[in-house]
Structure 1
Amino acid sequence: MDVILDIADLSVAYATGSGDLVAVKDVNLQVRRGEILGIAGESGSGKTTMAATLLRLLKKPGRVSGGTAQFFPGSAPEGVDLLAITGNRLRRLRWSSLSYLPQGSMNSLNPVARIERQFADVILEHAPKRKAELPTLIPRLLQQVGLDPSVARSYPHELSGGMRQRVLMAIAISLEPDLIVADEPTTALDVTVQRVILQTLADLSRDSGVTIILISHDMGVHAQLADRVAVMLDGAVVEVGEVRQVFHQPQHEYTRRLIESIPKLAGAAVGVNAGHPVATGEDDR
């Protein structure tokens, strides 16, 4: 499996009155094309800071203090450094090659615009030549994430939290990107809705072959969805491995503690991903 993103020696620091606070420390990580790579760790471990850096959404006083992130969109033989490109080169990559699924669906959607308008804003901004496709493209994208095409005429406040999150998924895949960064996509959703969101992500990965970086503090989410897991602690990656290996033979004490923090029903263990469908128990496949 070839590499779509090669992160080398990535470090990020925040300037403070008493000196730099290092949030990401010398991260070396490869993302394979077509996989779901889970990024795990507690709040403050550097997961979201690393994602924001890769997406070029890092805000001051944060800054990249070292490293590269070579991205290989499509079949391009040579990568582009996501940390170095600017202007139109960066703009061309966004949405069409590199997309983002944020955690706060209500904060990420325009409350005074219908869903179809928000699809159109993204598509026309980054692929204006596809304007004629909008009447058929938007319903197809909504159906792809399990929503009725009539949702296009709704405002965000008329939808449930799970429906809004699936709208964001549909927008994220609207231009068929190579890589999606999903930042805590199940946060603030109840358990039943979380399962729907995870299954939708699994379906998207299987059906379209899109690569997903899945950020979550919940090891149960990674057990159900990820192919591999990278565990972060204090800004550093302390363990990377196939999901089954990490859960059955964790190499780092912090990884063991994260796994032990997963709530368990009497006599039941967390199901571990067996190739995307979401597994939550022995009989639930």
Structure 2
Amino acid sequence: MNNVLEVNGLEVVYSTNRGDVKAVRGIDLDVRRGEILGIAGESGSGKSTLAVALLRLLKAPGKVTGGSVMFHPAGRSPVDLLKVHGEQLRVLRWSALSYLPQGSMSSLNPVMRVHDQFKDVILEHAPARKDSLDEMIPRLLEQVGLEARVGRMYPHELSGGMKQRVLMAIAVALEPDLVIADEPTTALDVTIQRVILQSLADLRRDFGVTLMVISHDMGVHAQLADRVAVMYEGQLVEVGDVRQVFKDPRDPYTRQLIDSIPKFGRRAS
């Protein structure tokens, strides 16, 4: 199997006055090139901590205490993301590994036009593309269903769904191998959620990007993911094909998550 990411024995703790609290406990997980892998679990299960640890964005008092994260970018040598630093890490970010953060409402600079926010990312990580920006940015916006004129707008002029799609376009601007999307449908109404999920599926189709989608909502994974990994108290309790997991979950916790999905016609007791 052609993996883009191989996580082995990953452990993350948060230091507190009462000692270390284990947030991620010995995670072993492969991410297959070209797939959409869902990471499921309730709040506090360790999903977002896993994401920021993989991205090397973990801040104190959090720290990685064990494991390896082998990343296989196309056309480059494999690298352990936990061991790279400085310029080597900067080069990998966005060109090979990018992030769609939780909370689109606060992730864009409110005093910069959308076009300039694209420029910041692209020129920082791929300065050689400077001369093609005026053609590149409208095309990226159009690929997530936004008109080119959005590039001239400020974040406060955009709806929540539009902001999320701007972030999606920025995340794939340099055609990375892997995009980690943290709760991409949070705080959006159900109609816009559907648009965002379709846009994510389109990114995989149009760019060939591998997606790791983190969400507490099992309905999101049912609609989008190829495989789903379920986390509980910092551990993986189940990983499998999304259809098989929904049809016959092995772990009782997975069954509880599936049962939490609202069903049409169900009456409140």
Give yes or no for TM over 0.5: yes
RMSD: 0.8
| Structure 1 counterpart of 2:196 | 197
| Structure 2 counterpart of 1:40 | 40
The amino acid that maps onto 1:103 is Q
Deviations 1:212-241 (A, max 9, x none): 000000000000000000000000000000
| Structure 2 counterpart of 1:67 | 67
With the length of structure 1 as denominator, give the TM-score of the two structures. Answer: 0.92
Shift of 1:19: 1.0
| Structure 1 counterpart of 2:154 | 155
> Aligned partners of 2:249, 2:208: CA distance in 1, in Å?
28
Deviations 1:148-184 (A, max 9, x none): 0000000000000000000000000000000000000
| Structure 1 counterpart of 2:245 | 246
Shift of 1:61: 0.7
How do 1:1-285 and structure 2 match up within 5 A? 1-76=1-76, 78-266=77-265
> Aligned partners of 2:192, 2:89: CA distance in 1, in Å?
34
Shift of 1:106: 2.1
Shift of 1:84: 1.0
Q: Once structures 1 and 2 are overlaid, which stretch shifts more, 98-107 or 177-186?
A: 98-107
**Structure 2 residue ranges without an equivalent (≥5):** none
Which aligned segments of 4 or more residues in structure 1 are displaced greater than 4 angstroms? none
**Structure 1 residue ranges without an equivalent (≥5):** 268-285
Deviations 1:238-263 (A, max 9, x none): 00000001000100000000000000
> Aligned partners of 1:142, 1:73: CA distance in 2, in Å?
25
The amino acid that maps onto 1:71 is F
The amino acid that maps onto 2:48 is T
Secondary structure in 1 matching 2:50: helix
> Aligned partners of 2:105, 2:187: CA distance in 1, in Å?
11
Deviations 1:190-227 (A, max 9, x none): 00000000000001112221000000000000000000
> Aligned partners of 2:13, 2:78: CA distance in 1, in Å?
25
Secondary structure in 2 matching 1:221: helix
The amino acid that maps onto 1:213 is M
Deviations 1:105-154 (A, max 9, x none): 12110000000000000000111110000010000000000000000000
> Aligned partners of 1:18, 1:50: CA distance in 2, in Å?
22
Shift of 1:75: 3.2
Aligned pairs, number: 266
With the length of structure 2 as denominator, give the TM-score of the two structures. Answer: 0.98
The alignment-based identity, stated in percent, is 67
Shift of 1:18: 1.3
> Aligned partners of 1:120, 1:208: CA distance in 2, in Å?
20
Shift of 1:104: 1.1
> Aligned partners of 2:43, 2:162: CA distance in 1, in Å?
26
